Structures are given as structure tokens and as C-alpha cells.
Homo-oligomer: A and B are copies of this chain.
């Protein structure tokens, strides 16, 4: 397959290239596309220099699948153009995620939805992806009644600008650009609150996307999304009320047997996953699996993943690999 990456010079775009190399995803060709100001940059793929080319309406001729990570505004314009040229778009922005004609896919949860695409498939939000991977087996066996989640997210979820603000502040310098008016260093802040409602954009995404991916449109959720000064990796404290009775032992066994999940959970040895440990790795890690005796049936989890990997690039590449396998 001929593959293109749109937004190849961004944090997620560069990670997509690394993930394609590491997984040895079989490609015929790789085209790197970006906006005019990045054109001429050279990025290596499998030891070979690849020139970054300018994204234009003609960029998709002969491309089979395009992985987009160039922001919602560009996706809105270029994803339909790419689809019209016969290319399948796997889009990492939020532009298409709630479009009923666009499947929203986490391969461990709803891979087959990808086959219903009409040219565009949406890659979910980072915080959603890692949570639904952990919730899916619990949902299948015990049923979900309500999910309360609080997140501990890296500012890298906002791209290089988020990391730049955090790292400038840590060095004691005034950031040249900001993702929030609040200080990120030594602090805990919220994602953009659009003022249209009480929830932040991130919180709204987690609720809507989780319901859509899991095919549970009525799932009851209470979500608080927080950015903490972590360079990479998101943590999530997930409190799950289930329909059927379940114990920590049941859930530990279930998740340990689930592909894509690594259980790290030994209270006596202080063994649990951290964002730092998840860095540059692909699994969804689960630890601190505990009974919740404050409800009739419930369990508590700590879910961690690298937000640029499983939360973005790796999930997109997994969708690509699924399309390759099913074609």
C-alpha cells in the first residue's frame, strides 16, 4: 500500500513514522506531507531520507491510505479531497469523530466499524482510547452501569506547543506560546473550556467518543480531565460501576488475558504503572485494580498509556494494519 502522512513534522506525525518502522508495517511507499513552512525538511524512515512535501489537493493521487494529524481545520478541508481521490483517510483530529458517516475506531474495541468507512475513519482522542481498551472486556463480561474518571494528562496532548510551554516554565523562561493562560509547571490545570457549557472540550470528547466507540449511547459518565506536568503519558483513575457482581480478582484475570493490555498490579511491592514507564511504549497499562465497596457492584482501576503512541499514532497505525489485513 502507498501511505501518506499529513502533518508529518508534528509530534504525532513523527511518532507515526517511528511506529510504522518499529512494527515493520509493510508499505509500498511513504509520502510525508506538511504545510508550506515545513516543506524541505528531511525525515528518515527505515534509514532512508524522506523529503517533506507540501500538502495540496493533488497530494493524494495514488495514495491508498493517508494518516492525518494536522489539526481539525486542515482535516475538514483535505480529508474529503483525499477520500474523493480514492484514498482512505485515518484522521487523528477531532474534526470527524462525531460524524455518523465516519467510523470512530479503537481496534481492540470496534475494529469492524472501520470497514463501514466511506473514505474517512476517525482516530479517537488520546484519553478516550486508553480508557475504552480497559473498559471493553469489563463491559463484555460484567456490563457497565456508570463510569467516573479523573485524568492526569501530559500537555503533549496539545502537541509541541504544550510541551514548549511546560519546558519553558520549568527552565524559568517566559513561554513563546501557550496552550493555557495558567502556569503548567508545578500545577494542575484544565483543558480548554469553550464556555458553551460547563465541561471542557476534552471532557465532552471523552463522554461522546466513549459512548460511540463502545456502542453504549446511554452510558452514564462523570468526567474530569486535568493536565499535570508530565512530559509524556496519561494516567486515569477510573471508577466503574458494573451491572453484574465482579471482584478485583475477576478483573485482574480478565484484563491480564486481554491483548493490548499489560497489568502491573502488586500493592505489596508498590508495583503499578506510571506515565513515565509508559513513555515510548504501545500497551495500555492497568494497575491498582481494587474492589469498590461504595457501590453494589464496582471496581476501581488506574489506566496509563503513552498518549502519543496508543493515544494517537499507534492506534492509527493499528487501524491501517486492520484495513490491510481485511482488504
Question: Interface-forming stretch among A4-12, A40-48, A176-184?
Answer: A176-184
Judge if A112 is at the interface, Cβ distance under 8 Å: no
Judge if A309 is at the interface, Cβ distance under 8 Å: no
Decide: A222 near B274, CB < 8 A? Known: A198-B267, A230-B188, A268-B193: no
Decide: A222 near B294, CB < 8 A? Known: A248-B198, A267-B193, A267-B195: yes
- Against B, the Cβ 8 Å flags (1 = close, 0 = not) of A143-187 are 000101010100000000000000000100000000011110011
The 8 Å CB contact of A270, one of B181, B268, B288, B294, is B181
Decide: A226 near B235, CB < 8 A? Known: A193-B268, A248-B198: yes
Decide: A275 near B235, CB < 8 A? Known: A148-B148, A268-B193: no
The 8 Å CB contact of A224, one of B146, B186, B220, B288, is B288
The 8 Å CB contact of A239, one of B222, B268, B276, B288, is B222
Chain B residues in 8 Å Cβ range of A150: 150, 224, 237
Decide: A276 near B237, CB < 8 A? Known: A148-B148, A294-B146: no
- Against B, the Cβ 8 Å flags (1 = close, 0 = not) of A190-219 are 101101011100000000000000000000
Chain A, range 96-139, C-beta contacts under 8 Å to B? none
Chain B residues in 8 Å Cβ range of A300: 222, 224
B268 touches A195 (CB 8 A): yes
Chain B residues in 8 Å Cβ range of A224: 150, 237, 239, 288, 300, 302
Chain B residues in 8 Å Cβ range of A170: 170
Chain A, range 278-301, C-beta contacts under 8 Å to B? 288-292, 294-295, 298, 300
Chain B residues in 8 Å Cβ range of A270: 180-182, 190, 192-193
Task: List 19 contacting pairs A-B, 8 Å CB cutoff, sorted by A.
Answer: A148-B148, A148-B239, A152-B228, A170-B170, A186-B231, A186-B275, A187-B276, A188-B235, A188-B274, A193-B267, A195-B268, A197-B267, A198-B290, A198-B291, A220-B294, A222-B294, A222-B298, A222-B300, A224-B239
State the A residues within 8 Å of B (CB): 146, 148, 150, 152, 170, 180-183, 186-190, 192-193, 195, 197-199, 220-222, 224, 226, 228-232, 235, 237, 239, 248, 267-270, 272, 274-276, 288-292, 294-295, 298, 300, 302
